[in-house]
Amino acid sequence: MVNFFQVAAAVTATHADSKGRSSVRRDLSSAGLAAAAGVDDGRGGVLPKSDVDLLEFPLNLEYLEAEFFLWGALGHGIDRFDPGLSSGGPSPVGVTAAKLSPLVRDIIAQFGFQEVGHLRAIKETVPGFARPLLNLSKEAFGTVMDNAFGRPLRPPFDPYASDINFLIASYVVPYVGLTGYVGANPKLRSATAKRLVAGLLGVESGQDAVLRTLLYERKKEVVAPYGMTVAEFTGHISGLRNKLGKKGMKDEGLIVARTEGPEGKTSGNILAGDQHSLAYDRTPEEILRIVYGTGKENKPGGFYPKGGDGKIAKSFLD
């Protein structure tokens, strides 16, 4: 936002000086160009265009998480909760209520409401975009599990069938968004953008910790009828995300080799982190490769049949 009081003072101070008038005109022009290049941050400043793009990109995942959690817990999504929040985007495909216990339903409902808050926070800061087409069908999740294990599961995995299935499905995407916030943070230039991402990252990290704790408690439980434990599911899902992301180890299941655990002292891995137990980071390209399920940022699929939205996601589709 151009500070017109400062500009007016400058004009008054140099009114009689033609050289000064030229300087003021240049200042006005520069201020106008700066405003045009970014977005008013609501605090008397301008968000750089690069910050706007980085803040808009995670809307793709926030829409997905909000719909998946709300539908899973309550049997309805954003359109019932706040019809205007989706900005007229298409309704998600295949999502439905999950068969959840009262405790898990309560937790997941809270997650859903938190994601609604995240959508509001981002869209109150930057223009944003409409909800993209999301495929949250059991077939979409079934394909992820088949790819994770390298073979078709029989029967196909259904994320909505039980507590444990839904918790495992919840392990699939939200953590990817968390790593995206970690990756975006050092690229942001404005205090407003950094403050927003720090707030989003804090709650997303909390959600991830809760999900991993619930799963860790059941790490040795065999997921029927597949004959594989919860820990094995998380390990294979993390392995798939590493493979699709194509940037090495940035994902870990609940149980790892002792040498890969915190300080090389334990195989328990309730939180994923690098050799110093710091959160992993991912770029938008890596995230798109994973959520598209194709390993290519320019080839939509998976949960986003028509691709993501926003300048960054669209730039790979042009």
Residue 175 belongs to a domain: yes
Q: How many Å is the maximal CA-CA distance in the chain?
A: 86
Distances (CA, A) of 3 to 6, 23, 27, 200: 6, 16, 11, 30
Same domain, yes or no, for 67 and 202?
A: yes
Residue 42 belongs to a domain: no
Same domain, yes or no, for 101 and 4?
A: no
Same domain, yes or no, for 230 and 107?
A: yes
DSSP string, 179-213: HHHHHHGGG--SHHHHHHHHHHHHHHHHHHHHHHH
Mean pLDDT of the chain: 90
SS3 47: strand
Same domain, yes or no, for 177 and 109?
A: yes
- Give me the residue label for tokens 């909760």: 81
* Count of domains forming the chain: 2
- Per-residue pLDDT, 17: 44
Residue 202 belongs to a domain: yes
Same domain, yes or no, for 5 and 71?
A: no
Same domain, yes or no, for 21 and 110?
A: no
- Per-residue pLDDT, 26: 43
- Give me the residue label for tokens 């290519």: 296
Same domain, yes or no, for 130 and 161?
A: yes
- Contact predicate 179/250, CB 8 Å: yes
- Per-residue pLDDT, 19: 44
Q: How many CB atoms lie within 10 A of CB 43?
A: 12
- Contact predicate 36/46, CB 8 Å: no
Q: In sequence order, which residues have a C-beta less than 8 Å from that of residue 174 and are 6 or more positions away?
A: 61, 65, 204, 207, 208, 211
Q: pLDDT of 155-180, one tens digit each?
A: 999 999 999 999 999 999 989 999 99
The pTM assigned to this predicted structure is 0.87
Same domain, yes or no, for 150 and 297?
A: yes
**Nearest to 290, CA basis, from 234, 243, 249, 235:** 243
- Per-residue pLDDT, 318: 72
Token pair belonging to 155: 């029967």
Residue 43 belongs to a domain: no
Q: In sequence order, which residues have a C-beta less than 8 Å from that of residue 110 and are 6 or more positions away?
A: none
Residue 151 belongs to a domain: yes
Residue 224 belongs to a domain: yes
Whole-angstrom distance, CA of residue 228 vs CA of residue 106:
27
Same domain, yes or no, for 54 and 138?
A: yes
Same domain, yes or no, for 205 and 57?
A: yes
- Per-residue pLDDT, 44: 56
- Per-residue pLDDT, 42: 62
Region label for 266, one of left (φ > 0), alpha (ψ between -120 and 50) or beta (otherwise): beta
Same domain, yes or no, for 291 and 180?
A: yes
Same domain, yes or no, for 21 and 93?
A: no
Domain span including residue 30 = 1-37
Residue ranges for the chain with pLDDT beneath 70: 1-37, 40-44
Residue 60 belongs to a domain: yes
DSSP conformational letter for 255? B
Residue 184 belongs to a domain: yes
Whole-angstrom distance, CA of residue 218 vs CA of residue 231:
8
- Per-residue pLDDT, 312: 98
